[in-house]
Amino acid sequence: MSDERFDVVVIGSGPGGYVAAIRAAQNGLKTACVEVYKTLGGTCLNVGCIPSKALLHTSEIYEAAQTEFPAFGIKTEGLQLDLQAMMANKDKAVTELTGGVAFLFKKNKIEHIVGKGSINGPGSVSVALADGGSRTLEAKNIIIATGSDVTSLPGIEIDGKRIVSSTGALVLDKVPGHMVVIGGGAIGLEMGSVWLRLGSRVTVLEYLDAVLPGMDGEVRKSFGRMLKKQGMEIKTGARVIGVKTTKAGATVTYETVQNETAESIKCDIVLMAVGRKPYTDGLGLEEVGIEVDEAGRIVVGDGFETNVSGIYAIGDVIKGPMLAHKAEDEGIALADNLAGLTGYVNHDVIPSVVYTMPEVAAVGKTEEELKEAGTAYNVGKFPFTANSRAKTNRQTEGFVKIIADAKTDKVLGVHMVGSDAGNMIAEAVLAMEFGASAEDIALTCHAHPTHTEAVKEAAMAVFAKPIHM
Ligand code: FAD
Ligand code: AMP
C-alpha cells in the first residue's frame, strides 16, 4: 500500500471522527484523519463540552464559596475572582485533553493530516493542507465527521464582540454587566449560568413556553423556577427579532408571543444560543451527489452509509441529538462494521444532560411523547428533599421521575433534576438498555447514603410506595 492509500479516511476529528479513527486502527485498518485544525478533538474538546464544563465547575465553586460555604462552617473572607486564572485553568484542560487525543493517534499509528478535506468521489479525498499544497488520498472507506457550527437568527450577525456565540462566551475577558441569552436550550442555560455565577445580570429570552424544549414538561417547568430562584431572568414566549449594537452595548428586540407586542432590552453582551447547524462547507457533497435533508443533515441508512457507496457519515452532521457521546458511539459502531464486526447504536436510549446546578438529565420518552403516542404508563417520583445524602450535602433541589409501561412495567423514560443527575442517569440508561422494569430497579441494592437511592425510591413509587416519603 502506498503512503497515500488508506482503508479509512475520516474527515473531522471531533468525538465522532477521532473515536472512529481510533477504533478503525484498533481493528487493524490503515487510517488517516483529516482535520482543519492542528489540535484534535473538534467542537467538543476545543470549544464545546470540555471548556464549558471547566467554566461551569469553577464558577460553581466560586458561587458556592459565597453562598454555601458559611453554612458548612467554612469562612471565606477576602474571596476574589481571578477570571484570567479561571480561563487559564479551562485552557489547560483543553490542551491536556486535545494532547491526549494526539497521543492516542500516535499510539494507534493514525496519520493526522492537517488541512481541509473534500471528497472527489468514492475512494478519493483531496486535502488542502494547512501549511500549503495539497494531497490526494485513496480511501476504501470515507467517513464524514465534520460536525456542526453555530447558527444565528436572520439578520443578526455574530460579531464576536457584542454578539457572541458559545465560542465567544467561553473567552470573555471581563464579566459583562448584563448578558442577554437568546435561546433557553442546554448551551444557553449552561453559559448563562457561568456568567450569572461570576456576577453578570443574565436575561434569557426563549421563544417557547418553557426552557429546555424536548425535555419532560414537568422537568422544564420546575427547572425554570429553580433558575429564576438563582437570579436568572427568564422570559418565555419571547421571540427575538433583532439586535442593534453600539460601541456601548446592544439592544435586543423581541416579540411577546402572547400579545405580539415588541419589547426591547439593553445589555452589554448578547449570547446567541438558538442551536447549531450541520457543517458541510466545501466537502463537495453536491458534486459527488451525496443526499442531504431539509435541515442540511447528511442522510444515512442504518449502517451510516450515505447514498454513495463507500462514503459514510456520523455525529452532528447526521440526524439525531447533537451530542458528543452519540457521535462517539456512532464512530465505534461504524468502525466495527467496516472491519467486518457488528457495530450497533441504540438511538432510543441516548442520555442528555444539562450541566447546570442542579443538573438536568434524561433518557427515553417524556410524558408528553407517551401521551401523544397513546401509550398507557405509570409514573414514580422521588424528591431529593427526602434523600439523606442530598440533605447532608444541602443539595435538595430536584427529583427523579421514572415512567414505566402500565402493562409490562418496562421503563420507558427517566428524568432527573438534581446536583448529581448527570452521573446518576447512567444507571437509568443501563437499565433501559437491558429492558429493565421499574421493579428490577427497585429490587436492585443501592449504596447508602448516595443520591442514587432516589432512583431506587422513584422506581418503588411506580408500583408501590417509596420508603422515605
Ligand atoms: P465536531 O466535534 O463538531 O467535530 C467536527 C470537526 O471536523 C471539527 O474539528 C472541524 O474543524 C472538522 N472539519 C469540518 N469540516 C472539515 C473538513 N472539510 N476537513 C477537515 N476537517 C473538517 N455535547 C455533549 O454530549 N455534552 C456536552 O456537555 C456538550 N457541551 C457542549 C457545549 C458547547 C458550548 C457546544 C458548542 C457543544 C456542546 N456539545 C456537548 C455538543 C458536542 O460538542 C457535539 O455534539 C460534538 O462535538 C459532535 O461531534 P462531531 O464529531 O460530530 O463533530
Ligand atoms: P437548542 O436547539 O437546544 O440549542 O436550543 C435553542 C433554543 O433557542 C430553543 O429553545 C429555541 O426555542 C430557542 N429559539 C430559537 N429561535 C428563537 C428566537 N428567535 N427567540 C428566542 N428563542 C429562540
Mutation pick for ligand 2 pocket among 148, 180, 204, 207 (CB with most ligand atoms within 8 Å): 207
- How many domains does the chain divide into? 3
Contact (CB, 8 A) for 334 and 313: no
Is the CB of 183 within 6 Å of ligand 2?
A: yes
| Residue 350 domain-assigned (yes or no) | no
Residues with Cβ within 8 Å of residue 398, at least 6 apart in sequence: 222, 226, 358, 383, 384, 416, 417, 418, 419, 421
Which ligand has its closest atom nearest to the C-alpha of 189? Answer: 2
Going from the Cα of 150 to the center of ligand 1, the distance in angstroms, rounded, reads: 10
Task: Report the alpha-carbon angle 253-257-262, nearest 5.
Answer: 30
Contact (CB, 8 A) for 455 and 446: yes
Of the residues 251, 274, 297, the one at which a domain ends: 274
| Residue 394 domain-assigned (yes or no) | yes
| Residue 344 domain-assigned (yes or no) | no
Domain check: are 427 and 416 in the same one? yes
Domain check: are 268 and 392 in the same one? no
- For atom 29 of ligand 1, which residue has the closest CA? 49
Which ligand has its closest atom nearest to the C-alpha of 188? Answer: 2
| Residue 198 domain-assigned (yes or no) | yes
Ligand 1 atom closest to residue 16's alpha carbon, by position in its atom list: 51
Handedness of CA 19, 164, 260, 189 (dihedral sign): positive
Contact (CB, 8 A) for 242 and 262: no
Going from the Cα of 379 to the center of ligand 2, the distance in angstroms, rounded, reads: 29
Strand 201-206 relative to strand 178-182: parallel, antiparallel, unpaired? parallel
Is the CB of 267 within 6 Å of ligand 2?
A: no
CATH code of residue 121: 3.50.50.60
Ligand 2 atom closest to residue 153's alpha carbon, by position in its atom list: 19
Of the residues 234, 249, 274, the one at which a domain ends: 274
Which ligand has its closest atom nearest to the C-alpha of 353? Answer: 1
Is the CB of 156 within 6 Å of ligand 2?
A: no
Is the CB of 323 within 6 Å of ligand 1?
A: yes
Strand 276-278 relative to strand 311-313: parallel, antiparallel, unpaired? unpaired
Is the CB of 387 within 6 Å of ligand 1?
A: no
- Give the pLDDT of residue 1: 41
Mutation pick for ligand 1 pocket among 44, 172, 280 (CB with most ligand atoms within 8 Å): 44
Domain check: are 413 and 393 in the same one? yes
Going from the Cα of 408 to the center of ligand 1, the distance in angstroms, rounded, reads: 39
- Give the pLDDT of residue 350: 98
Q: Cα separation of 131 and 115, whole Å?
A: 8
Query: What is the strand order of the sheet 399-405 is part of?
Result: 352-354, 359-364, 411-418, 399-405, 377-383
| Residue 161: other Cβ atoms inside 10 A | 11
Domain check: are 87 and 145 in the same one? yes
Range of the domain at 314: 5-149+277-338
Domain check: are 16 and 97 in the same one? yes
Is the CB of 206 within 6 Å of ligand 2?
A: yes
Residues with Cβ within 8 Å of residue 225, at least 6 apart in sequence: none
Is the CB of 240 within 6 Å of ligand 2?
A: yes
Is the CB of 5 within 6 Å of ligand 2?
A: no
Is the CB of 148 within 6 Å of ligand 1?
A: yes
| Residue 157 domain-assigned (yes or no) | no
Domain check: are 281 and 268 in the same one? no
| Residue 58 domain-assigned (yes or no) | yes
- For atom 12 of ligand 1, which residue has the closest CA? 12
Contact (CB, 8 A) for 59 and 175: no
| Residue 2: other Cβ atoms inside 10 A | 6
Which member of 112, 178, 347, 448 is catalytic? Answer: 448
- Give the pLDDT of residue 259: 82
- For atom 16 of ligand 2, which residue has the closest CA? 274
Domain check: are 145 and 284 in the same one? yes
Of the residues 258, 274, 290, the one at which a domain ends: 274
Domain check: are 142 and 251 in the same one? no
Q: How far is CA 431 from the centre of its chain?
A: 22
Domain check: are 253 and 321 in the same one? no
Q: Cα separation of 127 and 30, whole Å?
A: 17
Residues with Cβ within 8 Å of residue 105, at least 6 apart in sequence: 18, 21, 22, 33, 40, 111, 112
251, 87, 258: which is closest to 173 by C-alpha? Answer: 87
Strand 201-206 relative to strand 233-236: parallel, antiparallel, unpaired? parallel
| Residue 351 domain-assigned (yes or no) | no
- Give the pLDDT of residue 25: 98
Grid cell listed for 436: 429493565
- Give the pLDDT of residue 3: 58
Domain check: are 363 and 450 in the same one? yes
Ligand 2 atom closest to residue 214's alpha carbon, by position in its atom list: 3
CATH code of residue 455: 3.30.390.30
Is the CB of 324 within 6 Å of ligand 2?
A: no
- Give the pLDDT of residue 258: 86
Going from the Cα of 463 to the center of ligand 1, the distance in angstroms, rounded, reads: 41
Is the CB of 316 within 6 Å of ligand 1?
A: yes
Q: Which amino acid is at 453?
A: E
Ligand 2 atom closest to residue 241's alpha carbon, by position in its atom list: 19
Ligand 1 atom closest to residue 352's alpha carbon, by position in its atom list: 25
| Residue 396 domain-assigned (yes or no) | yes
The answer to whether the peptide bond before residue 358 is cis (omega within 30 degrees of 0) is yes
Per-residue pLDDT 10s for the chain (469 aa) are: 445 899 999 999 999 999 999 999 999 999 999 999 999 999 999 999 999 999 999 999 999 999 999 999 999 999 999 999 999 999 999 999 999 999 999 999 999 999 999 999 999 999 999 999 999 999 999 999 999 999 999 999 999 999 999 999 999 999 999 999 999 999 999 999 999 999 999 999 999 999 999 999 999 999 999 999 999 999 999 999 999 999 899 999 999 998 889 999 999 999 999 999 999 999 999 999 999 999 999 999 999 999 999 999 999 999 999 999 999 999 999 999 999 999 999 999 999 999 999 999 999 999 999 999 999 999 999 999 999 999 999 999 999 999 999 999 999 999 999 999 999 999 999 999 999 999 999 999 999 999 999 999 999 999 999 999 9
The answer to whether the peptide bond before residue 449 is cis (omega within 30 degrees of 0) is yes
- Per-residue DSSP letters for 12-72? --SHHHHHHHHHHHHTT--EEEEESSSS-SHHHHHHSHHHHHHHHHHHHHHHHHHHTGGGG
Domain check: are 75 and 101 in the same one? yes
Domain check: are 262 and 322 in the same one? no
Which ligand has its closest atom nearest to the C-alpha of 317? Answer: 1
The answer to whether 178 is a known catalytic residue is no
Going from the Cα of 76 to the center of ligand 1, the distance in angstroms, rounded, reads: 38
41, 33, 47: which is closest to 14 by C-alpha? Answer: 41
